[in-house]
A and B are shown apart, each in its own frame.
Chain A
Amino acid sequence: MTLLTEKRAPRAHKETHKIRGKVHLREHLMGWLFVGPFGVVFLAFLIAPLLYALYLSLFQKKLIGGTSFVLFDNYVKAFTDPSFLSGAWFVIRFSLVAIPLQIVIALAMALILDAVTSLFARFSRLIIFLPYAIPTVIGAVMWGFLYSKGFGPLTDIFGLFGADAPDFLSSNLIFYGLLNVVTWQWVGYYMIILYAALQGVDPTLYEAARMDGAGRWQIALRIKIPLIAPALILILVFSLIGTLQFFNEPQILRYLAAGTIGSDFTPNMYAYQQAFSLANFNYGSAISFALGGIVFICVYAFLFFTRKRRSFL
């Protein structure tokens, strides 16, 4: 949260403003005029729902006695609820594997595309980015087809070698099935951000490093990667937030993988089920809030461990 303390060139117009207090008032007014419309939306669709969810989560609806204030009972219930805990454990485990995998591939691709400047490289850049333009729902639908026994090519391909096709929709392999879907979906987006950051690096730095006898690998590892560390941290934070909220892909694949993915597979799916299938909005809100708490803790823990790097926040 130190973006605001970055060094700034002395501003010329600040002095002119101090001529009269009236001008100063005007600046306050204009500032709020520009920020105001967003502020209204921000209050209405972020702050208000957040507070309301917190409020809802402190109540319980019972068949007898109606709705009553229970303070943190819903949270106690959530953190002892095997459904919530197994879902939370799944998304944490999944994040620990999926995020490093995606970042490593995205970084490798970005470094390659930064070094290779052929027409084919430009074409590859577009193709790798392509899945970002695909809704995650459609991505999951497409991979669901590829995994399925009836439609997918896996049976044929493995049949050529006389082997049984792996079933990525079975409970043993669903972790890898989902891992592949999210990797396919997001690597391109991360790659583009890292590539854009690499393109912004001053090339004279590389030349200086070469003069000092650094090879290509050393330049990549010692110069390029440290210089784009802020972009890396940014995408790590975003992928962490996104992955912990995992919903769309398992929700879509559960139609195909009946029995493998339950309605409590991830905390978000569990909250959705509680709120919209069982009309238990109080407990659903508590689960959402508990998940939000987990996201906050994970993100701040991550930012704390990387605080020595120049951070984007």
Chain B
Amino acid sequence: MADRTSVTAGPRRPQRYLPLQILLGFMVIYFLVPFWWVIVNSSKDAPGLFSGGNTLWFSDQIDYLGNLRQLFTYDGGIYLRWILNSTLYALAGGIGATILSVMAGYGFAKYRFAARRFSFAVVLGALMVPATALVIPTFIMFSRLGLTNTVWAVILPSLLNPFGVYLMHVYARDAVPDELLDAARVDGAGEVRTFLQIALPMMRPAVVTVLLLSAVASWNNYFLPLAMLSDNRLFPVTVGLGLWQGIASANNTGTTSLWSLIILGSLVSVLPLIIAFFSLQRHWRGGLSVGGLR
């Protein structure tokens, strides 16, 4: 009893339960297996890949550089284009969606304007609309406007992020005190300046979270670009690798090099987001916890 209370009374002492840690170890292995397979097999050349056996370990030939060169020169360097396209879609969609969500969330939280409750209820209802159900009509609308098969066809619909609005609303409501905003107003700051200089810095963890979530959603998007784009030079990397996968599966012979490109291509394509997540960890974790999921 005495030692239990000391655990909670003082600063949290590290707690180690061995069986639980072993269980965690198994989970870690499970979650790492696909990464390990991709890392190992992207080092192999085509014969090594198809020789069978040894699928979870390196073969005698470790040729990352040769495979990388092949990946980035295949079909006139189309893979690099896909990566750059994905980056463009993720940044444009992510930043745009974040700006709109932050403004709207703040507006909903801090101003009592006409039809506020009704509009916010509609936005919340929109969380339940299947995003993919919007793709078919959006495609037809865009094709009327001549926008299909352009970057706008992917970027514009990604600007919509109702969940971001919800998150920002909760955060602005809880973390930005009205008294502070009123004080700024009394001091003669305009509404826009109050927002930019007082409220925005206080909402930073949530802003980073919404930015990451929307950028990830754009980077991972598959259905929308698949439907909107027909020129493979506009594809994001998800649609591009899906295309290769389809080609490689369709004719199993003679496309052995394409399989190794797909494997290494998968590995390279996941690195940017992994790096982004790990380096920004400090920021988004705070955002998720306060993100009001209570």
Q: What's the Cα separation between A46 and B1 when bound, in Å?
A: 58
CB contacts (< 8 Å) of B65 on chain A: these are none
A146 with B33, Cβ < 8 A, contacts A31-B107, A134-B273, A192-B288 known = yes
* Residues from 140 to 190 in B contacting A, C-beta threshold 8 Å: 140-141, 156-157, 159-160, 162, 165, 178-179, 181-182
A265 at interface (Cβ–Cβ under 8 A)? Answer: no
A120 with B182, Cβ < 8 A, contacts A34-B111, A49-B137, A134-B273 known = no
Nearest residue, chain B, Cβ from A253: B245
Q: What's the Cα separation between A230 and B292 when bound, in Å?
A: 10
Contact of A255 among B136, B245, B293 (CB under 8 A): B245
B12 touches A117 (CB 8 A): yes
Nearest residue, chain B, Cβ from A152: B55
Nearest residue, chain B, Cβ from A113: B24
A299 with B128, Cβ < 8 A, contacts A45-B160, A141-B241 known = yes
Q: Mark A151-164, 1 if CB is under 8 A from B, else 0.
A: 11100100000000
CB contacts (< 8 Å) of B262 on chain A: these are 141
B14 touches A52 (CB 8 A): no
Q: What's the Cα separation between A285 and B137 when bound, in Å?
A: 7
Nearest residue, chain A, Cβ from B238: A137
A120 touches B111 (CB 8 A): no
Nearest residue, chain B, Cβ from A211: B5
* Residues from 110 to 129 in A contacting B, C-beta threshold 8 Å: 112-113, 115-118, 120-121, 123-124, 126-129
Q: What's the Cα separation between A313 and B160 when bound, in Å?
A: 19
Q: What's the Cα separation between A139 and B227 when bound, in Å?
A: 20
B128 CB → nearest A CB, Å? 5
Q: What's the Cα separation between A56 and B138 when bound, in Å?
A: 12
B: interface residue count bin: 35 or more
Interface of B is mostly: helix
A142 touches B38 (CB 8 A): yes
Q: What's the Cα separation between A313 and B162 when bound, in Å?
A: 13
A48 with B141, Cβ < 8 A, contacts A135-B219, A196-B289, A247-B223 known = yes
Residues of B whose CB lies within 8 Å of any CB of A are: 4-5, 8-9, 12, 14-17, 20-21, 23-25, 27-28, 30-35, 37-38, 41, 49-50, 52-56, 99-101, 103-104, 106-108, 111-114, 116-117, 119-121, 123-141, 156-157, 159-160, 162, 165, 178-179, 181-182, 191, 195, 216, 219-220, 222-223, 226-227, 237-239, 241-242, 245-246, 248-250, 259, 262-263, 266, 269-270, 273-274, 276-278, 281, 285, 288-294
In addition to A35-B119, A116-B17, A271-B132, 12 A-B residue pairs with Cβ atoms within 8 Å of each other are A31-B112, A31-B113, A37-B100, A38-B165, A45-B156, A53-B136, A116-B15, A117-B15, A123-B28, A134-B273, A204-B8, A207-B5
